[in-house]
Amino acid sequence: MSVTIAETTDIDACHALRRTVFIDEQGVSVAEEIDGRDAEAVHLLASVDGVPAGTARILFDGETGKIGRVCVLRPHRGTGLGAALVKAAVEAIRARPDTHIAALGAQLPALGFYERLGFVAYGPVFDDAGIDHRMMKRDLRAS
């Protein structure tokens, strides 16, 4: 099995993955999922044997890179692909000059997953697209 994770301009592939996971599986509305911010984001595409299997996007604001829209197709969950995708996003943030913080809004069931990747939860629980989330961050100067 060959896995690749790289920045991509293939937004259609990213949208197809996000539609499957967020809209079809989790019931997020199209209006909430397609939020108009994709053009300003850096997108990562994870492929297994050349077939798209996961994606994430990064929005930059000052010293912070916010990781979002992280998803992996069901057959590839539990394989380490999601962790590899988040690690690649962290490295993409770290590679930008003057960007020192990786942040994300995590669905509550995924808090432990992100904690194992060095993120720390902060702030209250909030609703995003009908799903409870908490903000998490990782200071890249400390790791």
How many structural domains compose the chain?
Answer: 1
What is the span of the domain harbouring residue 57? Answer: 3-139
Question: What span, in angstroms and rounded, lies between the C-alpha atoms of 67 and 31?
Answer: 19
pTM of the complete model beyond 0.85: yes
Q: What is the pLDDT of residues 88-121, one digit of tens each?
A: 999 999 999 899 999 999 999 999 999 999 999 9
Question: In the structure, what pLDDT confidence band is assigned to residue 143 with cuts at 50, 70 and 90?
Answer: low
Give the CATH number for residue 62.
3.40.630.30
- Distances in Å between the Cα of 63 and the Cα atoms of 22, 55, 58, 93, 108 are 28, 23, 13, 9, 25
